[in-house]
Amino acid sequence: MIPNDMHSVIGLNSELSKLGIKQLGDVLFDVSRAEVIEEAVRNGEGRFSASGAFVVDTSPYTGRSPNDKYLVHNGDPDLWFASGTQAMDMKQYQSLKAKVLAYLENRKLYVRDITAGADPAQKARLRVITDLAWQNLAAANMFIPAKEPVPFIDPDLTIIVANGFAGDPVADGLRSPAFVIMNFEEKIVLIGKTSYAGEIKKSVFTYMNYVLPKRGVLSLHCSANKGSRGETALFFGLSGTGKTTLSSDPERALIGDDEHGWGDDGIFNFEGGCYAKTIRINPEFEPLVWSAINRFGTLIENVLLDVNRVPDFDSSEITENTRAAYPLHYIPNYEPSGMGGHPEHIFFLTADAFGVLPPLARLDTDQAMYYFLSGYTSKLAGTERGLGEKPEATFSTCFGAPFLPLKPAIYANLLAKKLEKHHTKVWLLNTGWSGGGFGTGKRIALPLTRAMISAVLNGSLDEVPTHAHPIFRVSIPDQVTGVPQNVLNPEQSWTDQQAYTREALGLAGKFAENFKKYQASVPDSVSASGPVRP
């Protein structure tokens, strides 16, 4: 064992023994990022890029495995099992945990104590145990360093990652050899077979989504930044809709790119780093992220290197879901505190594959609850295992259904209370297609999206009149400087107006069908605020 000192050795020995790992091999505890990269090199776990980033291949698990996620039922009446998440009983869990711990005995392990939650009052103490060195680096990059010099006593959450352990679907009652199991009662996550680092990240998010709303703190799948006056903006959305790109604004301080809490004092980041999608990243349009992913200490997943070790960020040969994990301080204008005030503006990002939603529209509180619960977007190829090349329209509750362990109305009602209390304005922002659906139209240009966001944030739309979309009934600004009318009003970008109406009504019907499951848990005014039914 090679932790910091003898006191750490004794403390960590005791903690791992309590966990159930009796026979310890070598254990590296809280070593520097440089040292853990050296370990990964010695183990042959990856290669350096020309700029010094460490590059790994997680095939065949190059995205989350949504159908391999389990929650151990703890009797909580508020527990919710999202689509794909399966309940597991305690007996089944204990049996599998014993096998995982037995597998880890006498192996070289990498242990890191870190925290989630920049607000000291909401901080969660995390312990990540892995059998791959580079995953220890991923945890170091994505979360907040622990200030305590010795191992945590009884961490709030322990994540055990056994990449070399495959579950037995028959004997262990699993759907495949891979598994991600959350046990809130024992405060443990078990991850087996899959080495994709996003499973570690989203396990922490799931935990925060469980504990914080019970304290009146709203957990959010969003990025956040703030302007020179301290004004805060949030960007909700699923992977690939633009959270990281749009929040990385050279003119604003980045609070965080993916996961936040909204408490009594404002917004706070859960993380200390970013986990950015890199596919087809453009250094001209995304200079901050480009710089961050091309330096020593960054971890890159599933990107090909050419003969000169230069990453090919345009290649999707391994996966469309290429990723880079780096500390927040790699972004020059990051917010060191990880905190911001109550948001003045919230953007719901959606990549509309049908090309019928307006690129920018104002929502009232009822509509905000409707579109928040709906969480409409398109799944982009590679984000989850099994997706094909064509995006699929989907509804993901609160823009993060796979990570929500509580009933959706709990999050939506908290959101409504905070919107009303802090007079926050909410906008629907379509970063998807215009002039037709996927394969016919074109993706809305990033400079136009940035122009619309800037117009909202600088107040230039405060006095601009709006008009209601005839089907979706959201309020579209009559004009935005620099944005053509045929972009602001999507029907004008279609050559076939009847085809536009047909597609828009089709999507409206999908909204209505999806929202039926929420009608009993929200006021009638929320249900009535959705699109016109065909």
Count the Cβ atoms, other than its own, within 10 Å of residue 334: 24
In the annotation, is 33 catalytic?
A: no
Q: What is the predicted pLDDT for the residue at 2? A: 44
In the annotation, is 329 catalytic?
A: no
The predicted-structure confidence for 288-306, as pLDDT tens digits, reads as follows 999 999 999 999 999 999 9
In the annotation, is 323 catalytic?
A: yes
257 CB-near residues (< 8 Å, 6+ apart): 223, 243, 244, 247, 248, 271, 274, 275, 276
* Six-digit token string for 159: 């994540």
Residue 383 has pLDDT above 50, yes or no: no
Helix axes 365-374, 408-422, angle to 10 degrees: 150
> For the chain, what is the mean pLDDT?
93
In the annotation, is 202 catalytic?
A: yes
In the annotation, is 243 catalytic?
A: yes
Q: What is the predicted pLDDT for the residue at 429? A: 97
Query: Model confidence at 534, in pLDDT bands (50, 70, 90)?
Result: low
In the annotation, is 442 catalytic?
A: no
Strand 124-130, strand 144-145: pairing? unpaired
Single out the catalytic residue among 195, 232, 244, 278: 244
The predicted-structure confidence for 482-507, as pLDDT tens digits, reads as follows 999 999 999 999 999 999 999 999 99
Query: Model confidence at 309, in pLDDT bands (50, 70, 90)?
Result: very high
Query: Among 7-21, 246-260, 401-415, which is the least confidently predicted range?
Result: 7-21
The predicted-structure confidence for 136-191, as pLDDT tens digits, reads as follows 999 999 999 998 767 999 999 999 999 999 999 999 999 999 999 999 999 999 99
Single out the catalytic residue among 112, 125, 221, 379: 221
The predicted-structure confidence for 238-255, as pLDDT tens digits, reads as follows 877 888 889 988 899 999
Residue 389 has pLDDT above 70, yes or no: no
Strand 343-350, strand 109-116: pairing? unpaired
Domains along the sequence of the chain with CATH: 6-30+65-211 (3.40.449.10), 227-240+343-527 (3.90.228.20)
Query: Among 7-11, 105-109, 376-380, 382-386, which is the least confidently predicted range?
Result: 382-386
Rounded to an integer, the average pLDDT of 451-461 is 96
DSSP H or E stretch at residue 277: strand 273-277
Q: Is 164 helix (H, G, I), strand (E, B) or coil?
A: coil
Single out the catalytic residue among 112, 226, 277, 323: 323
Q: What is the predicted pLDDT for the residue at 231? A: 94
Residues 328 and 334: beta-carbon distance below 8 Å: yes
Single out the catalytic residue among 239, 319, 350, 377: 239
Q: What is the predicted pLDDT for the residue at 391? A: 59
Query: Model confidence at 8, in pLDDT bands (50, 70, 90)?
Result: low
Single out the catalytic residue among 30, 62, 64, 193: 64
Single out the catalytic residue among 97, 193, 202, 277: 202
How close are the terminal C-alpha atoms of the chain, in Å? 66
The DSSP-derived string for 422-449 is HT-EEEEEE-SEESSSTTTSEEPPHHHH
